[in-house]
Chains A and B, each alone.
Chain A
Amino acid sequence: MPAGLKPDRPAAARRRRPGAAPYVLLAPSVAYLVVFFIVPLLQGLRLAFTGQDGQWGLSTVHGLLNDPGFWSSVWNTLIMLAIILPVQLVLALAMSLLVNAKLRGSGFWFYVYMLPLGISDLTSGIIWYSVFTQQGWLNSVLQDLGIIHQPFIWLSYQHQLLIIATIVVAEAWRSTSIIVIILVGGLQAIPREYSEAADVFYASPWQKLWHVTLPLLRPTLRTALILRTVLAFEVFATVIALAGSSLSVLATKANNAYTQYQEPHLAAAYGILIMLLSLVSTALFLVMLPVRTEQAS
């Protein structure tokens, strides 16, 4: 290397070593994570693995497994998830393709789709309760149209799957737009050249969707699925509003254990179980939907 091109060592070192600045900038986020996530997580673990007498052990876990309705709440959570994920995914994909097609008025529809995002899950549950209750909107409309002659009880404890279906409708209405936002972002990041190349080969719109758009959207879909699954494990106010005590999911059991029955240990055990299930489902999505480097980039 010619002597004249040799960099000035102290100046280069100063440029390369940023000093304490990054750590200072990171500190607030780290402090936030520690105070609001790590500490409560550790407290939750401590509560879940100590008994009411404060002794470490598995008595709370034992209590969890023997809690009346525990296994049915596990199944209900999984059934709800298994229905809600594909329904929301198909809906969100259709909605985001519509927005991305940039048809006349698509901006307006984008805002309409986003409206339910501003509504809490409790409010959403109360609104949908007034739709599905025996003397509610749905039965009124069906009776006025002459389809039914007596009100049908949609929220009967005897029809568990029907109650789950009403919860899925309420949740699809409230939270599909979260997936739409993510998918619209992913669709807009796909370069136009791919679609133009497909047009050259006279690909039909369906072929373009199946062979061009969806494979390129895979990293975004994976993110959306992970986010939706984790959020679906946490849904409880919609379930309480629509199902009452007819049906419970893990999150309603956790909420009832803490607020109704003042059992913080049991509530924490439910919380830890929800966290574990969220981690397992995230890992499953990561394994089942691998993303190649060129897709990720």
Chain B
Amino acid sequence: MDGGSARDRDGKISRRGVLRLGAAAGAGAAAAGLLSACGSGGSTGGGGGGGGNLIFLSDQLSTTVETAAMRSKILSGFKSSGVSFTSFADTTQFVDQVIAQAKAGAGTLDLIGGLQGDFVALEAQIPLRDMSDVIGELKDRNFPQAYLDLAKIKGAYRFVPWITATYLMVANKKALAHLPSGADVNTLTYDQLLAWGQALKSATGQQLIGFPASPTGLIKRFFQGYAYPSFTGGLNTTFKSQAAVTMWQYFKQLWAVTNPQSPTYAMMDEPLLSGEVWVAWDHAVRLSNALQQQPDNFVVFPAPSGPKGLGYEPVLGGLAIPTTSKRVTQAKSLISYLAQQQTQATMLNAESWFPPVGASALPSSLAPGVSAEAKAIDATTGAPGALASQLPVGLGAQSATYDKAFVDAFTAIALNGAPIPATLAAEATTLQSVLQQAGAACWKPDPASTGVCQVG
């Protein structure tokens, strides 16, 4: 919800600022109009319409701009058939629709695109088609083994890796002069990040670290996939452990050098561009605007590592063919088209989602900001001590309540100064009841559990 500032850091009220303000106002008006016009949040159509089209449903690329780019720049290049692309902003709606059609034994969907966790949730309720044949046909795409492992659910490949992203850090080059001695941004530790923030504060008088902590920001993923695994080696099983208390004590210190306007930041590209923040953590897609607009002013690098390693959360999206589809051959050929290097390059430039291949397999003609992000993603996954976490798995409708526990803990501890052990004990009760109701087993980085995951 950041509207855009009108002033450059060291300049007067800028023309770009004025234009951004105009765009923000326009976007706000458009958003308000959309909000009042469509309650469901789904957007349909495109690809020519008509009965012969393949029906492609997703819960990704759901903003108006992303959906329009998907139709006009990506799917328009698939010549074998028209494609009707629909995307729900609400994951529950996407999952419910796929399940409803599968249970009815008949449906219109030919291709579904979701995140890895969506397929785990789907497979728990309906049998998904074994996609091994398609993955076999796409052997030349050289999907990394880590992604193929994630695609394997209940002993078979349930989706074909499609898009990836992760969370990264971006710094203004002006901040590099204040790095603690001996620190390298590419192998940063959390202690060095804190020292960096403190150095920036003493040099400039300002708190220049930034986190996306607004209600629509993704700071919850920072705790789930980064801070907890890096400091405790786990998530649910170590939620209120002594190591977790240490992590929150550390975070309070980091928060003291974090821009106090962070609770209004939904995405970090804008505060980076305006200069309000010099060092930020966020989702790669939500940082790409800054890197693409001013590639020479920013550096992008992996998140820091903690006592237990470099905790990170790979985001993997995949494609699957529902068992009810009557156009399997055409759907397979659409998957093959989406996995082509040229299509993936267009996807990367237009949507900022990376293909599920290593940076070395990316086309060389990428914008400088995009290729820098690709290298940072590679550096994250290949870092010694890298500790991959999954997005919360198997929580279904309870996933929002699960996330709320982390946001509530952050609000209580960082914003309101509540005591750490008591807050963690209270939120641990909430987490346990969520896991109990969903019947969810532990997921990485916690060790696998036989029954319901036990909060520790």
Given A129-B264, A144-B12, the answer on whether A134 and B92 have CB atoms closer than 8 Å is: no
* In the complex, chain B residues 264-279 whose Cβ is within 8 Å of any chain A Cβ: 264-266, 274-276
Q: A130 at interface (Cβ–Cβ under 8 A)?
A: yes
Which of A82-90, A120-128, A181-189 binds B? A120-128
Given A68-B408, A122-B31, A137-B7, the answer on whether A244 and B275 have CB atoms closer than 8 Å is: no
- B residues near A135, Cβ cutoff 8 Å: 5-9, 274-276
Q: B343 at interface (Cβ–Cβ under 8 A)?
A: no
Given A126-B24, A240-B1, A244-B213, the answer on whether A150 and B404 have CB atoms closer than 8 Å is: no
Q: B368 at interface (Cβ–Cβ under 8 A)?
A: no
Q: B32 at interface (Cβ–Cβ under 8 A)?
A: yes
Interface residues on A, range: 35 or more
Q: B126 at interface (Cβ–Cβ under 8 A)?
A: no
Query: What is the 8 Å Cβ interface bit string for chain B, positions 124-157, against chain A (1 contact, 0 not)?
Result: 0000000000000000000000000000000000
Smallest distance from the beta carbon of B114 to chain A beta carbons, Å?
A: 17
Query: Contact: A150 with B29, CB < 8 Å?
Result: no
Query: Contact: B264 with A246, CB < 8 Å?
Result: yes
Complex Cα gap A144–B10 (Å): 11
Given A126-B25, A130-B4, A262-B397, the answer on whether A244 and B215 have CB atoms closer than 8 Å is: yes
Query: Contact: A120 with B32, CB < 8 Å?
Result: yes
* In the complex, chain B residues 6-50 whose Cβ is within 8 Å of any chain A Cβ: 6-9, 12-13, 17, 20-21, 24-25, 27-29, 31-32, 35
Q: A69 at interface (Cβ–Cβ under 8 A)?
A: yes
Smallest distance from the beta carbon of B245 to chain A beta carbons, Å?
A: 19
Query: Contact: A140 with B7, CB < 8 Å?
Result: yes
Given A127-B21, A150-B206, the answer on whether A242 and B5 have CB atoms closer than 8 Å is: no
Query: Contact: A245 with B400, CB < 8 Å?
Result: no
Complex Cα gap A244–B407 (Å): 13
Q: B455 at interface (Cβ–Cβ under 8 A)?
A: no
Q: A223 at interface (Cβ–Cβ under 8 A)?
A: no
* Of A140, A141, A153, A241, the contact of B1 (CB 8 Å cutoff): A241
Query: What is the 8 Å Cβ interface bit string for chain B, positions 404-421, against chain A (1 contact, 0 not)?
Result: 100110011001000000
- B residues near A260, Cβ cutoff 8 Å: 215-216, 400, 404
Complex Cα gap A263–B13 (Å): 43
Q: A44 at interface (Cβ–Cβ under 8 A)?
A: no
Which of B72-80, B233-241, B255-263, B373-381 binds A? B255-263
- A residues near B24, Cβ cutoff 8 Å: 126-127, 130
Given A130-B6, A134-B259, A136-B5, the answer on whether A263 and B28 have CB atoms closer than 8 Å is: no
* Of A126, A158, A242, the contact of B260 (CB 8 Å cutoff): A158
Smallest distance from the beta carbon of B423 to chain A beta carbons, Å?
A: 9
* Of B4, B9, B92, B264, the contact of A243 (CB 8 Å cutoff): B264
* In the complex, chain A residues 141-183 whose Cβ is within 8 Å of any chain B Cβ: 141, 144, 150-151, 153, 155-158
- A residues near B31, Cβ cutoff 8 Å: 122
Complex Cα gap A170–B264 (Å): 16
Q: A139 at interface (Cβ–Cβ under 8 A)?
A: yes
Complex Cα gap A263–B400 (Å): 8
Q: A256 at interface (Cβ–Cβ under 8 A)?
A: yes
Query: What is the 8 Å Cβ interface bit string for chain B, positions 53-90, against chain A (1 contact, 0 not)?
Result: 00000000000000000000000000000000000000
Q: B3 at interface (Cβ–Cβ under 8 A)?
A: yes
Q: A261 at interface (Cβ–Cβ under 8 A)?
A: yes
Complex Cα gap A129–B270 (Å): 13
Query: Contact: A153 with B411, CB < 8 Å?
Result: no
Closest B residue, CB atoms, query A240: B1
Complex Cα gap A261–B403 (Å): 8
Can you give 20 A-B contacts (C-beta < 8 A)?
A: A120-B28, A126-B25, A127-B28, A129-B1, A129-B2, A130-B4, A130-B21, A130-B24, A133-B5, A133-B276, A140-B12, A144-B12, A153-B261, A155-B261, A157-B262, A241-B264, A243-B263, A244-B264, A246-B263, A261-B401
The 10 closest A-B pairs by CB, nearest first: A244-B264, A123-B28, A126-B3, A156-B260, A120-B32, A244-B214, A135-B5, A129-B3, A140-B7, A246-B263
Q: Give me 20 other A-B pairs in contact (C-beta within 8 A), A122-B31, A140-B6, A244-B1 excluded.
A: A123-B25, A123-B28, A123-B29, A125-B1, A126-B27, A127-B21, A130-B17, A135-B5, A135-B7, A135-B8, A135-B275, A141-B13, A156-B261, A157-B261, A241-B3, A244-B214, A245-B263, A260-B400, A261-B404, A262-B400
